[in-house]
Amino acid sequence: MTTQTMRERAGAVTFRGTPMTLAGEELKAGMPAPEFTLTTVALAPLGLAEAIDNGSRSAMLIVVPSLDTPVCSTEACTFNVRSPEVPKDMAAFVVSLDLPFAQARWSKAQNVDGIAMLSAYRSPEFGPAYGVLIKELGLLARAVFIISKNRTIAYAKTVAEVTSEPDYDEVFAAAQKLG
């Protein structure tokens, strides 16, 4: 029996200034998007093929540690408010390890309706596949991935300090460039 060692990137991000290790390879533009199966708030599986609607749209994955934290809540609300800036042939999803029930509760409380929620709670492979699993915390790092219709990473950015928000203008510029 062979065992595979997962690549670890020590100090790839910080959490409140403390260096953290990310499990998995760093994804970059031009790389194939790793397969995934995440869970919707209706407890249905949603994979890469569904996210890009079998190649008829691209997808934006907004990865956050937990919607029950102020920075993640602010970020998801900001993406929701700015969702009209997402190209018409692109779907936007917030991905976290929060349970689908918590995501649904949070979305309703925040009146979030421009972006869909996806949970990685049943998908331990997602974090390492996308290079965003914080080894020390067991949480996902803050990142944004844009996947093209042909299953290629078009944009990948992991925020260096987990407690900081992403550069929204940069993300939406990348989305517009693809769309």
Domain boundaries, the chain: 8-178
Q: Which one is catalytic: 52, 64, 72, 112?
A: 72
72 is catalytic: yes
CATH 3.40.50.20 for the 8-178 domain, yes or no: no
Instruction: Work out the average pLDDT over 163-170.
Output: 98
Please choose, from the candidates 147, 179, 142, the residue with its C-alpha nearest in 3D space to the C-alpha of residue 157: 142
Residue 6 has pLDDT above 90, yes or no: no
The backbone torsions φ and ψ at residue 110, rounded to the nearest 5 degrees and listed phi first, read -95, 0
Q: Please tell me the distance from the alpha carbon of residue 165 to that of residue 155, in angstroms, as a whole number.
A: 16
Distance CA 60, CA 46 (A): 14
pTM passes above 0.85: yes
Task: Give me the pLDDT at residue 4, please.
Answer: 54
pLDDT in tens, 89-127: 999 999 999 999 999 999 999 999 999 999 999 999 999
Question: CA–CA separation, 100 vs 35, rounded Å?
Answer: 20
- Whether the pLDDT of residue 2 is over 50: the answer is no
d(CA 143, CA 18): 18
Q: Looking at residues 79-87, what average pLDDT do you find?
A: 97
CA dihedral angle for residue 76, residue 77, residue 82, residue 87, rounded to 10 degrees: 40
